[in-house]
Amino acid sequence: MIHKKLLVITTIVITISLITILCYKGLEPTLISAPVLSTTKVSGITSSSALTGGDITSDGGAAVIARGVCWSTNSNPTISDHTTKDGNGTGSFSSTITGLLADTTYHIRAYATNSAGTAYGNTITFNTLSTTDDTVTDIDGNVYRTVRIGDQIWMAENLRTTRFNDGTSISYVTDGSVWDGLTTPSYCWYNNDTSNKATYGGMYNWYAVNTNKLAPVGWHVPTKEEWLTLINYLGGEDVAGGKLKEVGTSHWASPNTGATDETGFTALPSGYRGGGGMFWHLGGACFWWSATRESVNKAWRCSINYLSSSLDIDNQYFTHGWSVRCVKN
């Protein structure tokens, strides 16, 4: 018993001595704590998947050896529930969650593990799309993928209908000079080439948008305010474009700056039809109408290009041919 007491006393004395020496030399003993992190907003929500991630701002004094996102239908999920594994180290990371049930409420939070243990970011709750919301079909029978971004449900492809939702045909105009002088609803394919339809969709003048019959039933062309809601949800104009653009250069020109497509919106560089009915910027930029008039001959539109991560909003003439993305009512 005496020996055990002596051993404890000796250990305490040695520990105190080491701390004293460190302090005398101007050093402090290293204290390790759990990492500090936050959970990234959820976007790109479908009936079975979602996009999210985390941002680790401190490793707690020891290397982060595992990180990812955990999720459950119960609140405050842990690594004992479903998880992704997204490498190690500090900084931001992205996660794709798959295998989710349709029309279900999930709770997610990012996690990070070091030698002190596992820490969690804030919990975010979201609802997956129902299977009926996973796609939308237009009057022509074209089927479009859809995606939830924040509280909005968007088409994940450009509109390519040739008829209004009441079944009436939209005028198809190929001649550039005729197009430039139109004051009635019309559409075309880029460069009047039908092979561009499947990938890039149609180009519509604003007269077609202004009929309020262009989108599938239950959907509509977004207003300027709805575009701004999307932009604000994604963190502002400077970064929103990158979060919407398809990654890589299979369609976009290099360098396709800032493209992450973390929303699942998958914006493609569909170009536009401008003054004189000329076609421009296939591969370099995309442009979408809003349903909001700006003046007697202009309406608001949004645009993204390959040299920037921004999503710009300005106004242009009714006669120009822009792409259309629809949002659910």
Tell me the pTM.
Answer: 0.79
Nearest-5° Cα angle at 24, 21 to 26: 115
| pLDDT of 81 over the 90 cut | yes
Q: Strand, helix or coil at 209?
A: helix
| Tokens matching residue 238 | 């400077």
For the ranges 10-19, 154-163, 177-186, the lowest mean pLDDT is seen at 10-19
Token pair for 209: 């948008």
Phi-psi region of 136 (alpha: psi -120 to 50; beta: other; left: phi over 0): beta
What Rg, from alpha-carbon coordinates, does the chain have?
Answer: 27
pLDDT tens, 90-105? Answer: 999 999 999 999 999 9
Residue 310 near residue 286, CB atoms below 8 Å = no
Asked if pLDDT for residue 29 goes beyond 80, the answer is no
Cα 45 to Cα 148: distance, rounded to the nearest angstrom: 5
Residue 23 has pLDDT above 50, yes or no: no
Pairing outcome for strands 298-305 and 279-282: unpaired
Which whole number is the average pLDDT over 257-261? 95
Q: Give the separation between CA 54 and CA 124, rounded to whole angstroms.
A: 11
Q: Are the CB atoms for 135 and 146 separated by under 8 Å?
A: yes
Q: Give the strand pairing for 171-172 and 186-188.
A: parallel
**H or E stretch at 321:** none
What phi and psi, each to the nearest 5 degrees, are found at residue 224?
A: -55, -40
The residue with greater pLDDT, 220 or 26, is: 220
* pLDDT-above-70 percentage for the chain: 91
For tokens 């360098």, the residue is 255
User: CB neighbours of 189 closer than 8 A, spacing ≥ 6?
Assistant: 196, 197, 200, 202, 203
Confidence of residue 133 (pLDDT cuts 50, 70, 90): confident
For residue 166, CA distances in Å to 187, 214, 217, 246 come to: 16, 9, 9, 32
pLDDT at 131: 85
Cβ–Cβ contacts within 10 Å for residue 4, how many? 8
Quick one: DSSP state of residue 196?
G
pLDDT at 176 over 70: yes
- Tell me if 324 sits within 8 A of 311, measured CB to CB: no
Predicted local distance difference test score (pLDDT) of residue 101: 95
